[in-house]
Amino acid sequence: MDALSNVEVLERIVLSLVAGAILGMEREWRNRPAGLPTYALVCEGCALFMVSSILLSNEMARNGGTADPSRIGSTVVQGVGFIAGGVIFTHRAKVTGLTTAASIWVAAAIGLAIGAGYYAPAFIGVAAAMFTLVPMRWLEHSVIKANARDKQKTEQVSEESNQS
């Protein structure tokens, strides 16, 4: 592995902030518990962990040692799962926050990818996440509304046949 320059480190951190902010803006727009700052920080933090891991691995290699930069990344996944779990709430039979938790987890994966220098997969991940959060959410609500209308029509027909 080649050593990372300060410019490459700066590029990775800034790109991760941008990627996290893109996801966070959508969550902010929907007024969810975790928004722009949370997503930007999660994504940036994960990139910083990965960059640090790569730098440490390079340092060890120069001194004759070995290190696996993926080890830090794997522990980040567990830690982010803990953070994401904090936005999941249950009230009676309703669970909320699952999409927010999942998107925090995705922001972490994007940050790790950017930190490792894999920009194309990271920004494909941003696009896929935004597609999931915006058009797919619209589609989901359209289906729910259609199902509610169908259910209402079925109930009306049932009531009319009971009255006959």
Residues 109-152 have pLDDT tens digits of 999 999 999 999 999 999 999 998 888 878 877 887 777 777 77
Of these ranges, 11-25, 26-40, 77-91, the one predicted with the greatest mean pLDDT is: 11-25
- Are 59 and 2 in contact, with CB atoms under 8 Å apart? no
- Residue from 100, 99, 112, 97 nearest 43 by CA: 112
Note the pTM of the prediction, 2 decimals. 0.76
- Residue with token string 């896929």: 128
pLDDT of residue 131: 92
Residues 44-78 have pLDDT tens digits of 999 999 999 888 888 888 888 887 877 888 888 88
